[in-house]
């Protein structure tokens, strides 16, 4: 066939996944339009076609650079058209040729060829005969080790005396990769080609030998588990010998790349690499594989070394805080101090701020503003009702479905190792048989320990020292003392009426307009309408209910616009009731006048300060003391102490020393369904008791707070600012406070101090002198 004349120009048929050698007969399936046209053109002529292999099998329209230049001129022996539009052809290789240029590309490729004639082999030399015999022996060994080979080819091999033909026949049937086969095709010298085939067979023999050794070792104990192991090891050995990587190897390589990018500390890195090596040696179907794979995902995705740069521009930070929050000067000053220190000392440890105050005063939103001012990420976890220590520290990896704790989860969510981290409702954390979460927070919030925080799942020290922790709480009492010791407490007492008006006009009204689809021009609240909403429709320290009422008005206005209204709506003082119904809270001065036996006290609750009335009545009886109003033990003891004080000082108070003989005393605190307790109602109970026994009225404009001793000393109290705010809301003009609380008046805003008169008292005599009116 080599002597046959081959035209200089032939149609081109690019083939995929196969290299065609001379003398090789094989079927080809042709599906591309250009390829089918090339086959038709060859059949219309001398049935010759040039077969060249594509470099990229996925390319549908190969160009000049996508095709190997050395190929085989073949004769189309038979052609069959299939039902799906493809064509099946049977071809036989004839001679090698090199593609020198493209003649045309439409409607099919026509190429100009240069025939590659092999040099004539000299007479059979000893070296050539030895080489051919060695190749045949290698092939026989492969067949003995289980290599599949067509039986008819084996017969032909025995009768071939030409070294080039022998090399081509073996190369076309031994199952080489396309690249290896193409390299052999391009070798023109027959002896050189046969030597390369010998090298290929030698490598195949090594692979088959390793495979055979693994097989013999694995067969000793075959069982189900041993069989799986044998198959895995067999696959690994073959892939290692052939230099191929499987999907698992690519997966491990990707994890290793991510591990490099994560920049773990040295100690943690060595442990992570150890676990990665375990994963690499584990089969994907092993029970532990998915658990270890998930663990490695957590390790590489945690922000071990990624930090955001703090915004240390104090003026800009102050502007951000002022934009988001009205007043709250103490909090803003503390944040600016933090920034100032950070500017001077780059490696400072993050403080643990704790905002304490009633609901709705802006504790959580203040955390977001701090993050915005610092230029840091913000994450928040709510600890309300958390009773399982694993919520904080995570589960150990031995448990099914184990996960890191919420702290580590939030750090991954933040993507940086220095976010502003808010621990919301830290006072509502619980404890049960699953552990004490508050104890787990001790390490988290200790600046001396949290540089190596240990999560049970990760089980590697994670540095939290750069995190700015912020906790929020309504009250401090439920927080364990050890945890409380780690917190820097900043109290947010609540807002005055003027502050609420300013906040409503600056923040709440625009926000509710936007949330309800209204434009600024569609609705306007007058100052008196806003004041009416604050004083007659809400009674709170914070702003949540006020925003709800504003939202309710906006929704009603939105409905009017949806129904076709075009004119803007003005919410005036006299139209508020039309939107929200009658007022829910009446001003306190409209509820009562100065009375005998009724005193006004100031109480502190989780939702802020409140007014507390104490009523005392005397009647004929056996000298007993009756207490009603759902009082706690502390208030009951205060009532007993007040009675003992009145009996001990009866003469100087103008009371009959024998008043208990034939007289019963009843102390009642209204709203009996609400539990009441606390250590600051002593002076109020004593004042109401003395008023009832002496017949002197208690001034309706006076409110008081403080605890008493049996000797009439007035003891200090807490929560003064909240109590003052409650008194101002009730239009109280005079407030009696313990003299040792006078220092706390600095926390009261100046405009608030102007509204009331503060009277400090160290004894009950001073309290009574101010609170009781003279007898008519």
Residue 194 region by backbone torsions, left for phi larger than 0, else alpha for psi between -120 and 50, else beta? alpha
Give yes or no for a cis peptide into 369 (omega within 30° of 0). Answer: no
Is the distance from CB of 677 to CB of 633 less than 8 angstroms?
Answer: yes
Q: Which residues contact 475 (CB under 8 A, 6 or more apart)?
A: 356, 427, 606
- Kindly list the distances between the CA atom of residue 140 and the CA atoms of 136, 147, 180, 203, in Å, as whole numbers in the listed order: 6, 9, 21, 14
What string of H, E and C letters represents the secondary structure of 236-258?
Answer: HHHHHHHCCCCHHHHHHHHHHHH
With the CA atoms of 741, 744, 749 and 755 taken in that order, what torsion angle do they form, in degrees rounded to the nearest 10? Answer: 10
Tell me which of 680, 691, 694, 721 is the catalytic residue: 680
Distance CA 264, CA 247 (A): 26
Q: Which listed residue (96, 676, 721, 723) is catalytic?
A: 723
Nearest CA-CA partner of 508 in 551, 539, 540 = 551
CA distance 300 to 458: 11
Radius of gyration of the chain (CA): 46
In the structure encoding, which two tokens stand for residue 129, read together? 């005969």
CA angle 390, 393, 399 (to 5 degrees): 55
409 phi and psi, to 5 degrees?
-60, -40
- Catalytic: 680? yes
Whole-number Å distance between alpha carbons of 126 and 39: 44
Two structure tokens written together for 44: 């219309």
Burial track 157-193 (b if 16+ CB lie within 10 A, e otherwise):
beebebbbbbbbbbbbbbebebebbbbbbbbeebbeb
**Would you mind telling me the total number of residues written for the chain in this entry?**
776
- 320 CA to centre of own chain: 25
CA–CA separation, 220 and 529 (whole Å) = 92
Sign of the Cα torsion 733, 737, 739, 744 reads negative
723 is an active site residue: yes
Distance between CA atoms of residues 40 and 53, nearest Å: 20
Of 455, 261, 473, nearest to 382 by C-alpha is: 473
User: Residue 123, class by beta-carbon neighbours within 10 Å (0-12 exposed, 13-18 middle, 19+ buried)?
Assistant: exposed
CB 644 within 8 A of CB 682: no
Q: Is 705 helix (H, G, I), strand (E, B) or coil?
A: coil
By the 8 A CB rule, do 451 and 464 touch?
Answer: yes
Residues 6 or more apart in contact with residue 750 via CB below 8 angstroms: none
Structure tokens at 244: 């191929």
The two three-digit tokens of residue 691, written as one number: 């008023």
Can you tell me the distance from the alpha carbon of 775 to that of 631, in angstroms, rounded to the nearest whole number? 31
Whole-angstrom Cα distance, residue 201 to residue 40? 39
Closest CA to 225 of 279, 286, 277, 284: 286
Answer for the pair 537, 551: CB distance below 8 angstroms, yes or no.
no
Write the secondary structure of 626-645 as one string of H (helix), E (strand) and C (coil): EEECCECHHHHHHHHHHHHH
- The whole-angstrom separation of Cα 373 and Cα 141 is 77
Pair 530, 758: CB distance under 8 Å = no
Among candidate residues 763, 614, 767, the one with its CA nearest the CA of residue 688: 614
| 49 contacts 39 by C-beta, under 8 angstroms | yes
Q: Which residues are catalytic?
A: 680, 723
């Amino acid at each position: 066939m080599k002597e046959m004349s081959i035209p200089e120009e032939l149609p081109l048929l690019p083939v995929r996944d196969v290299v065609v050698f001379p003398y090789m007969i094989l079927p080809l399936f042709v599906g591309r339009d250009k390829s089918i046209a090339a086959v038709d053109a060859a059949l219309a002529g001398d049935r010759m076609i040039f077969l060249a292999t594509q470099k990229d099998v996925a390319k549908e329209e190969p160009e000049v650079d996508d095709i190997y230049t050395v190929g085989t001129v073949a004769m189309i022996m038979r052609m069959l058209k299939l039902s799906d539009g493809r064509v099946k052809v049977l071809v036989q290789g004839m001679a090698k040729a090199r593609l020198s240029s493209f003649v045309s590309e439409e409607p099919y490729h026509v190429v100009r060829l240069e025939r590659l004639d092999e040099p004539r082999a000299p007479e059979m030399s000893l070296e050539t005969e030895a080489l051919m015999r060695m190749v045949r022996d290698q092939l026989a060994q492969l067949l003995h080790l289980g290599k599949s080979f067509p039986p008819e080819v084996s017969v032909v091999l025995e009768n071939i005396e030409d070294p080039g033909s022998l090399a081509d026949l073996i190369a076309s049937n031994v199952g080489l990769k396309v690249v290896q086969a193409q390299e052999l095709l391009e070798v023109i010298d027959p002896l050189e080609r046969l030597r390369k085939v010998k090298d290929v067979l030698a490598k195949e023999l090594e692979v088959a030998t390793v495979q055979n050794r693994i097989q013999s070792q694995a067969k000793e104990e075959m069982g189900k588990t041993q069989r799986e192991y044998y198959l895995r090891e067999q696959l690994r050995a073959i892939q290692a010998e052939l230099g191929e990587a499987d999907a698992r190897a690519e997966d491990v390589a990707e994890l290793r790349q991510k591990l490099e990018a994560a920049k773990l500390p040295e100690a943690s890195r060595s442990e992570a690499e150890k676990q990665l090596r375990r994963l690499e040696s584990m089969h994907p179907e092993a029970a532990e594989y998915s658990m270890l794979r998930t663990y490695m995902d957590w390790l590489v995705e945690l922000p071990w070394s990624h930090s955001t740069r703090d915004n240390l521009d104090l003026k800009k930070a102050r502007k951000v805080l002022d934009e988001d929050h009205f007043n709250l000067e103490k909090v803003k000053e503390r944040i600016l101090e933090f920034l100032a220190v950070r500017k001077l000392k780059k490696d400072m440890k993050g403080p643990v701020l704790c905002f304490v105050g009633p609901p709705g005063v802006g504790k959580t939103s203040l955390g977001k503003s701090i993050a915005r001012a610092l230029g840091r990420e913000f994450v928040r976890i709510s600890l309300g009702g958390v009773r399982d220590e694993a919520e904080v520290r995570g589960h150990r990896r031995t448990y099914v479905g184990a996960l890191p704790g919420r702290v580590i989860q939030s750090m991954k969510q933040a993507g940086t190792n220095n976010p502003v981290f808010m621990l919301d409702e830290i006072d509502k954390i619980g404890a049960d048989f699953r552990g004490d979460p508050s104890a787990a927070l001790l390490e988290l919030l200790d600046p001396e320990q949290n540089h190596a925080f240990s999560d049970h799942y990760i089980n590697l020290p994670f540095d939290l020292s750069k995190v700015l922790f912020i906790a929020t709480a309504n009250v401090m009492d439920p927080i364990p003392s050890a945890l409380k010791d780690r917190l820097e407490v900043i109290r947010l007492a609540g807002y005055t009426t003027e502050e609420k008006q300013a906040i409503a006009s600056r923040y709440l009204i625009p926000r509710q307009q936007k949330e309800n689809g209204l434009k600024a021009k569609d609705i306007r609240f007058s100052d008196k309408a806003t004041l009416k909403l604050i004083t007659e429709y809400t009674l709170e320290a914070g702003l949540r209910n006020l925003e709800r009422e504003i939202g309710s008005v906006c929704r009603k206005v939105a409905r009017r616009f949806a129904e076709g209204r075009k004119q803007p709506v003005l919410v005036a003082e006299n139209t508020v009731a039309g939107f929200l119904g009658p007022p829910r809270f009446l001003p306190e001065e409209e509820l009562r006048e100065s009375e005998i036996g009724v005193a006004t006290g100031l109480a502190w609750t989780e939702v802020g300060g409140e007014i507390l009335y104490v009523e005392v009545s005397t009647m004929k009886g056996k000298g007993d003391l009756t207490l009603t109003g759902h009082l706690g033990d502390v208030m009951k003891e205060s009532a007993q102490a007040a009675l003992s004080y009145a009996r001990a000082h009866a003469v100087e108070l103008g009371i009959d020393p024998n008043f208990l003989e034939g007289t019963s005393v009843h102390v009642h605190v209204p709203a009996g369904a609400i539990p009441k307790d606390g250590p600051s109602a002593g002076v109020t109970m004593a004042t109401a008791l003395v008023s009832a026994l002496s017949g002197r009225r208690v001034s309706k404009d006076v409110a008081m707070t403080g605890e008493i001793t049996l000797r009439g000393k007035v003891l200090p109290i807490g929560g003064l600012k909240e109590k003052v705010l409650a008194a101002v809301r009730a239009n109280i003009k005079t407030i009696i406070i313990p003299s040792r609380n006078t220092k706390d008046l600095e926390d009261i805003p100046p405009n608030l101090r102007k509204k009331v008169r503060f009277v400090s008292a160290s004894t009950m005599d001073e309290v009574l002198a101010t609170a009781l009116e003279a007898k008519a």
